[in-house]
Structure 1
Amino acid sequence: MKQLGQILSDRGSKYAVSGCPASDRAAVDAALKELKRDKSYAKATHNTWAVLLSDGGPLKGDDGESGAGMVIIRMLEREGLEDHLIVVTRWYGGKHLGGDRFRHVQSCVRAYLDAA
């Protein structure tokens, strides 16, 4: 699992992005389990993820951050990137971010795609 660590912070919330190849649901579950072995990620408020499976279509998990998984899926579709899991992690800072949280998810995914 490639971890870029903290990408940005806003009003106390911190965001990080991670990713790795994943060709089926078992690989996704294994990657999420590996990520959460790091206590910091296990204690995060949200670990939102998505993957476009070449033989199964899109999978996503919002982990309480409603709609964030779909943001990742749309970006993966635009890039044409299949069989690659991207996880955006958020540590909630105490203040609601409203729609800005989706912009932050996009920024994290873009940073990951640019680094790949």
Structure 2
Amino acid sequence: MRIIDRIISDRGSKYAVSGAPCRSAQEAAALLVRLKQGKRFARATHNSWGLICQDGPIKNDDGESGAGMVILRMLDREGLRDHLIVVTRWYGGKQLGGDRFRHVQEAVRIYLESLAKDS
């Protein structure tokens, strides 16, 4: 699993983005378990994710309402299928309002750029 940590910081909240090839909701669940084996990710406030696979689009906001849909839209726009992307947030004590969506988008963008560099 590719993990890019400490990529965004805003008003105390910190973000990371992770991802891996993934073909189903069951594989996504297993990858999330693996990610959360790291204590830092297990203690995160939100691990929001999206995946477009043969079964269709699958997402989980993990309490960060709307974050999964933002991830799905970006995956669809890029045409990236069978690849899980997880955006992790550690809440910093202050509400971010709509900026949280901008941060999710930026995190996914950073991940997609890292994939492009490696291909």
TM-score above 0.5 = yes
Give the Cα–Cα distance (whole angstroms) in 2 for the partners of residues 22 and 33 of structure 1. 14
Q: Which residue of 2 aligns with 1:113?
A: 112
After superposition, the CA RMSD in angstroms is 0.4
Quote the residue 2:3 is aligned against: 3
Q: How far 1:6 sits from its partner (Å)?
A: 1.2
Q: In the TM superposition, what is the alpha-carbon distance from 1:9 to its structure 2 partner?
A: 0.3
Question: Structure 1 stretches (4+) deviating beyond 6 angstroms?
Answer: none
State the AA in 1 paired with 2:45: T
Distance 2:69 2:38 in 1: 25
SS at match of 2:14: strand
Q: Percent of counterpart pairs with the same letter? A: 63
Gaps of 5+ in 1: none
Q: Offset at 1:25?
A: 1.2
With normalisation by structure 1, the TM-score equals 0.98
The size of the alignment, in residue pairs, is 115
| Cα offset, 1:86, TM superposition | 0.2
Q: Distance in 2 between matches of 1:60 and 1:6?
A: 23
Q: Secondary structure at the match of 2:8?
A: strand
Which TM-score applies when normalising by structure 2?
0.96
1:77 maps to a residue whose letter is: D
CA–CA distance in structure 1, aligned partners of residues 77 and 100 of structure 2? 20
